[in-house]
Amino acid sequence: MFTDYLYVLAFMGGGIFLVASAITLARFFRPSNPKGGKSSTYECGEVPVGGAWVQFNVRYYIYALLFVIFDVEAVLLVPWAVSLKSLEPRLMITSFVLGVIFIIVLFIALAYAWRKGVLKWQ
């Protein structure tokens, strides 16, 4: 059992080493020319109009957060539904009730967001 943790630790260490070495090598080999157009808003040759700091409507962020919430719901519910059959009957009922409560809470959140008009794309 302890060796399983050693394998995970070795893979994590190897991953951290590879990322750190890639970032370090990129620092030495990348071109660096921080003059003129590099500090401009756009580096594509277009003349920038206005400032780079534009204030967006909060509704876009809320829409994105709702997407993330329901995306996480889908990621959690698929393994839950697949593994539900393999449980013993008592645990199956408990797991099913907890899953239904989870879905109901998310449905209430969706209904609240819908009622507040967050889902209207304007």
**All residues at 6 or more sequence positions from 42 whose CB lies less than 8 Å from its CB, including other chains:** 48
Residues 6+ apart with CB under 8 A from 99: 77, 80, 81, 84
The two three-digit tokens of residue 46, written as one number: 């277009």
Q: What is the pLDDT of residue 104?
A: 92
Q: 113 and 119 in contact (C-beta within 8 Å)?
A: yes
45 HSE (CA, 13 A, CB side): 0
CA-CA distance, 56 to 54, in Å (whole number)?
A: 6
Specify the pLDDT at position 18: 97
In this predicted structure, what is the pLDDT of residue 45? 65
- Each of the 122 residues of the chain gets a pLDDT tens digit; together they read 788 899 999 999 999 999 999 999 999 888 777 666 666 666 666 676 776 677 777 777 877 888 888 888 888 888 888 888 888 888 888 988 988 998 898 889 888 888 888 777 76
- pLDDT score at 90: 87
Rounded (10°) CA dihedral 18, 23, 28, 34: 170
- Rounded Cα gap, residues 115 and 122, in angstroms: 16
Domain boundaries, the chain: 1-54, 56-122
pTM of the model: 0.49
